Amino acid sequence: METPPPTSESAPSAGILPAWSLRTRWIVSLLLLWHLSAVVVGPAAVAPTSGLMASLWDWYQPYLDALYLNHGYHFFAPEPGPSHLIRYELGFADGTEKSGLFPHKTQHQPRLLYHRHFMLSEHLSQFAEPGTPPEYLLAFSRSYASHLLVEHHAQQVKLILVRHLIPRPEQVLAGMTLTDKSLYFERPLGTFRADGTADLPKQITPANDSPTIPDQTAERLPERAPNRR
């Protein structure tokens, strides 16, 4: 540090701290080493990772979880990919219907609130990937459905995951817009009722979780904790 030392002009009576004793420095140094190694193990243990890092993660997990340091910092990695939205269709007791979408740029303002909704749909989409145990997708779908049913006083809600692909530069040069219909793919997540029953598509039922929408690139955002499932 380049903090200039006090000179004769100063009046450091406001409690200059004495230099720490050797014992104190040893204790703090050990704490620092523990913390810094945890800070490295957190992102290093995100898949794909080695067996060594996975083992170290088991040691550090309580500490990293408790302090919310369990992140991979994989911003836009391995590469930017498609976005995910959730479309919902509400059915009411009087027979009327209403649909909605989240995230929604005009309804969810300011932008930070939009991103909160965006993360909800993005996190759910991770569990729509092949090979993911279906109970995660089901749990997220049920939770979102339950919220929508209560918020809108609806009798039932149908959830649809929408994947929005990114056009390639040559497609844009050929005249394609970002909202071109061919860039959107939908996957039903189920119809959930206020009485707790649900009609689930085959993709979410156990033993069958094959995706129905194409993947554009490798998995992308959002940031997530190391996968310990």
Partner 1 sequence: MQLLRDYFRDLIQTTSANWDRFWFTPADPATIGLLRILVGGMILYTHAVWSLNLNAFFGPHAWLNRDVVGLMQRDGYQWSYLWLCESPAALWTVHGLALAVCLLFMLGVWTRVTSILTCLITLSYAHRAPEAMYGLDQINGFLSLYLAVAYLGIEPRGSAYSLDRWMTSRNLPRPLPATSPSITANIATRLIQVHMCVLYLFAGLSKLQGEAWWDGTAIWGAFANLEYQSLDMLWLVHQPWLINLMTHVTVVWEITYIALIWGRLTRPIVLALAIPVHLGICCFLGMMTFGSIMLIANLAFVSPALIRGLLDRNTTRKFGHALSGPKWLQSSRKQNAGSKTSR
Rounded to whole angstroms, the Cα distance separating 86 from 103 reads 7
**Residue number with CB closer to partner 1 (89 or 115):** 115
Q: How far is the CB of 204 from partner 1 (least distance, A)?
A: 14
Q: How far is the CB of 191 from partner 1 (least distance, A)?
A: 18
Question: Counting contacts by CB under 8 A, is residue 11 touching partner 1?
Answer: yes
**Residue number with CB closer to partner 1 (158 or 220):** 220
Rounded to whole angstroms, the Cα distance separating 99 from 85 reads 13
Please report, in angstroms and rounded to a whole number, the separation of the first and last CA atoms in the chain: 44
Q: How far is the CB of 203 from partner 1 (least distance, A)?
A: 18
Chosen residue from 53, 56, 57, 72 binding partner 1 by CB under 8 A:
72
Stretch that binds partner 1, among 82-90, 185-193, 197-205, 206-214 (CB under 8 A): 82-90
Stretch that binds partner 1, among 77-85, 89-97, 191-199, 200-208 (CB under 8 A): 77-85
Q: How far is the CB of 192 from partner 1 (least distance, A)?
A: 13
Chosen residue from 56, 120, 189, 204 binding partner 1 by CB under 8 A:
120
Sheet with 83-91, edge to edge strand ranges: 97-102, 83-91, 156-164, 184-193, 198-199
Question: Counting contacts by CB under 8 A, is residue 69 touching partner 1?
Answer: yes
Chosen residue from 57, 88, 144, 192 binding partner 1 by CB under 8 A:
144
**148 CB-near residues (< 8 Å, 6+ apart):** 88, 90, 100, 154, 157
Q: How far is the CB of 130 from partner 1 (least distance, A)?
A: 19
